[in-house]
């Protein structure tokens, strides 16, 4: 098989070939390393690339599979981790030169679970510094570039994860999502990004941004791959105090292709917010398609949507400042100035404000819970616009000019507040050729329904089959 084709196979497709010994993990890794070599000068997805360790693991995987010891669907699959997932013996920078030489002694739980599943780590992926920004700009390791147009942002903070998956540099990547950092780059780069329920995937060994808003999640090219990845990484972890002790189903069993009988709600407040007309049209078409497939679509109301920025902003600012306080005192002048300002601003959020935000979060979640008595899923745009230019501070949406950070997080933050699962998947392209994302959100720990609807939509469309012109 052509090397480029190997790079664009999904984990599901690739795993069947590996299992049947039609393709070797060594071929797969070599193809991806060649793809990285060809595209990395444009994309800058990686902070640390691990070609020789990856080849060595691939040779071991090949020997294991030849000997009849196939471990399952991730065995031999190339994976990239955002550079805030600790990896034993491999530097983990969190996107800052201050941590250029930080080499963790232990793997984070997610990395360990990938390793147990036989996945092969290709490298550590570029990111917005400390995950504190939604664009994928990094002044220490270079900005990330969107594979669909390198002058535009990938979205962030998991920008390298977005570009690497979209451009066929990795089959599976992982991001972390505090205000949208998995779903934003997924939408802007035209891939699938799943933010699981808070507590489903362990945060142990990840650099925190906000303890109570951080969610690790997969960034892949198909919904099946999101399910396969979740099968490998979800589950109780005593090292994470928020880890949920729940039975983990086989998420691929939810991929039936049917949405018959599902009740989908469209919060009307989402459409009062700044929203580009092309994005609105693509999302409306996607929702109609789901309706045509058998779902029931109704308009619903989430009045506290308008409070979501204040609630998550206060929590995020206070927690990020608390976590990074010693760093600010020691090395503040070595941080990217905009990130330093954001972190220091959190020092001025009072304890009373923080607790008021947590009270408001309770109210917000009560409202969300009431809504989920009426519907099984909420649908809407992931992003109000397609990818803005790199270093843009404002974006014009219709007749309104708004800040990029607020715009890119307006539809994603609510599900960090609620901790409920939300997925972004491609649902169209703008006239300029940039991807548009549909966001589907479900009840706590009901990833199965989210994946079920996303898969049905994906199978009825071909947006996920398009490849960026790189």
Q: Which residue stretch of 92-100, 141-149, 350-358, 439-447 sits at the interface with another protein (rule: CB under 8 A)?
A: 350-358
Per-residue exposure over 104-141, b if at least 16 CB sit within 10 Å of its own CB, e if not: beebbbbbbbbbebbbbbbbbbbbbbbbbbbbbbbebb
Q: Is 242 in the site for another protein (CB under 8 A)?
A: yes
Report the nearest approach of another protein to the CB of residue 156 (Å): 19
> Which segment (74-82, 109-117, 247-255, 336-344) binds another protein by CB under 8 A?
336-344
329 binds another protein (CB under 8 A): yes
Report the distance separating Cα 417 and Cα 311, nearest Å. Answer: 8
Q: What share of the chain is helix, strand, coil (3-state, %, to 5)?
A: 45, 15, 40
Can 202 be counted among the known catalytic residues? no
Q: Mask 26-65, x = binds another protein (CB under 8 A)?
A: ----------------------------------------
Query: Out of 10, 94, 96, 157, which one is annotated catalytic?
Result: 157
Q: Between residues 230 and 339, which has the closer beta carbon with respect to another protein? A: 339
| Among residues 21, 306, 334, 400, the one that binds another protein under rule CB under 8 A | 306
Kindly give the pairing relationship between strand 296-300 and strand 377-381.
Answer: unpaired
Choice between 149 and 338, CB closer to another protein: 338
Residue from 360, 438, 454, 470 that binds another protein (CB under 8 A)?
Answer: 360
Alpha helices in 2-153 (DSSP H): 3-8, 11-19, 25-43, 51-66, 109-116
Classify residue 131 by its DSSP letter. G
Q: How many residues bind another protein (CB under 8 A)?
A: 40
The two most distant CA atoms of the chain are separated, in Å, by: 63
Among 56, 63, 253, 341, binds another protein (CB under 8 A): 341
Cβ atoms < 10 Å from Cβ of 459:
15
Least Å distance, CB 341 to another protein, is: 4
Q: Are 315 and 214 in contact (CB under 8 A)?
A: no
Q: Does residue number 365 form part of the binding site for another protein (CB under 8 A)? A: yes
- Burial classification of residue 330, based on how many CB atoms lie within 10 Å of its CB (0-12 exposed, 13-18 middle, 19 or more buried): exposed
Candidates 2-10, 69-77, 157-165, 343-351 — which segment interacts with another protein by CB under 8 A?
Answer: 343-351
Instruction: Choose the binding region for another protein from 2-10, 287-295, 358-366, 428-436 (rule: CB under 8 A).
Output: 358-366
H/E/C letters for each residue in 242-280? CCCCCCCCCHHHHCCCCCCCCEEEEEHHHHCCCCCHHHH
* Enclosing H/E stretch for 364: helix 351-374
User: Restricting to residues 173-202, which ones interact with another protein according to CB under 8 A?
Assistant: none
State which residue, 206 or 314, has the beta carbon closest to another protein.
314
| From candidates 3, 212, 284, 390, binder to another protein by CB under 8 A | 212
d(CA 371, CA 448): 19
Nearest CA among 110, 79, 138, 125 for reference residue 216: 110
Return d(Cα 376, Cα 416) in angstroms, integer.
18
Q: Which residue in the list 10, 24, 82, 161 is annotated as catalytic? A: 82
User: Of the two residues 67 and 329, which places its CB atom closer to another protein in the complex?
Assistant: 329
Q: How large is the angle between the packed helices 109-116 and 223-233, nearest 10 degrees?
A: 100
- Phi, then psi, of 403 in degrees rounded to 5: -70, 145
Catalytic choice (158, 176, 181, 424): 181
By the rule CB under 8 A, 402 interacts with another protein: no
82 noted as active-site residue: yes
User: Which residues from 243-282 bind another protein, rule CB under 8 A?
Assistant: 243, 245
Considering only 116, 256, 288, 350, the residue that binds another protein (CB under 8 A) is 350
| Separation between Cα atoms, residue 470 and residue 148, nearest integer Å | 7
Look up 124 and say whether it is catalytic: no
Min separation Cβ 310 and another protein, Å:
4
Among 361, 413, 443, 452, which residue interacts with another protein (rule: CB under 8 A)?
361
CA-wise closest residue to 391 among 185, 133, 137, 44:
137
Q: Which stretch binds another protein (CB under 8 A): 127-135, 148-156, 354-362, 443-451?
A: 354-362
Q: For the sheet with 46-49, list strands across it.
A: 46-49, 120-125, 78-82, 172-177, 215-220, 192-195, 422-429, 435-441, 377-381, 263-267, 296-300
Residue choice 241, 253, 369, 391 for contact with another protein (CB under 8 A): 241
**Dihedral of CA 386/388/390/391: which sign?**
negative
Q: Which of 48, 149, 309, 430 binds another protein (CB under 8 A)?
A: 309
Q: Which is nearer to another protein, 32 or 413 (CB)?
A: 413
**Residue numbers of the site for another protein (CB under 8 A)?**
212, 238-239, 241-243, 245, 304, 306-307, 309-311, 313-314, 317, 325, 329, 333, 341-342, 344-345, 347-350, 353, 355-363, 365-366, 406
Q: Write out the catalytic residue numbers.
A: 82, 157, 181
């Amino acid at each position: 098989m052509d090397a480029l084709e190997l790079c664009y196979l999904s984990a599901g497709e690739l795993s069947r070939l590996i299992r049947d010994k039609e393709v070797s993990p060594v071929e797969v890794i070599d193809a991806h390393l060649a793809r990285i070599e060809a595209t990395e000068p444009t994309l800058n997805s990686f902070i640390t690339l691990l070609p020789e360790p990856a080849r060595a693991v691939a040779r071991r995987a090949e020997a294991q599979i030849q000997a009849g010891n196939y471990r399952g669907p991730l065995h031999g699959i190339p994976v990239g981790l955002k550079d805030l997932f600790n990896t034993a013996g491999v530097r983990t920078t969190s996107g800052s030169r201050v941590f250029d030489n930080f080499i963790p002694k232990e793997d984070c739980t997610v990395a360990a679970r990938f390793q147990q599943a036989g996945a092969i780590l290709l490298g550590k992926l570029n990111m917005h510094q400390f995950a504190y920004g939604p664009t994928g700009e990094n002044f220490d390791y270079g900005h990330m570039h969107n594979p669909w147009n390198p002058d535009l942002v990938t979205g962030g903070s998991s920008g390298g994860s977005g570009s690497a998956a979209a451009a066929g540099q990795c089959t599976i990547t992982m991001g972390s999502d505090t205000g949208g950092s998995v779903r934003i780059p997924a939408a802007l780069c035209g891939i699938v990004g799943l933010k699981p329920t808070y507590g489903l995937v362990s945060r142990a060994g990840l650099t925190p941004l906000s303890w109570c808003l951080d969610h690790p999640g997969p960034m892949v090219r198909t919904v099946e791959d999101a399910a396969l990845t979740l099968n490998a990484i979800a589950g109780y972890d005593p090292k994470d105090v928020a880890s949920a002790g729940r039975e983990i189903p086989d998420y691929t069993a939810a991929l039936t292709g049917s949405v018959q009988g599902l009740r989908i709600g469209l919060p009307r407040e989402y459409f009062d917010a700044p929203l580009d007309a092309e994005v609105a049209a693509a999302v409306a078409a996607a929702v109609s398609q789901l309706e045509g497939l058998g779902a029931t679509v109704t308009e619903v109301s989430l009045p506290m949507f308008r409070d979501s920025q204040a609630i998550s902003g206060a929590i995020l600012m206070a927690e990020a400042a608390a976590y990074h306080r010693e760093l600010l005192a020691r090395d503040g002048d070595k941080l990217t100035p905009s990130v330093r300002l954001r972190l220091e601003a959190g020092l001025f959020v009072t304890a009373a404000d923080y607790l008021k935000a947590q009270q408001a979060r309770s109210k917000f979640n009560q409202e969300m819970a009431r809504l989920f008595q009426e519907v099984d899923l909420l649908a809407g745009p992931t992003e109000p616009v397609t990818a803005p230019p790199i270093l843009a501070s404002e974006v014009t949406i219709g007749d309104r000019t708004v800040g990029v950070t607020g715009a890119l997080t307006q539809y994603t933050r609510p599900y960090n507040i609620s901790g409920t699962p939300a997925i972004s998947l491609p649902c169209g392209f703008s006239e300029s050729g940039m991807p548009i994302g549909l966001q589907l959100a479900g009840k706590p720990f009901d990833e199965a329904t989210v994946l079920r609807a996303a898969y049905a939509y994906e199978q009825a469309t071909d947006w996920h089959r398009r490849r960026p012109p790189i």
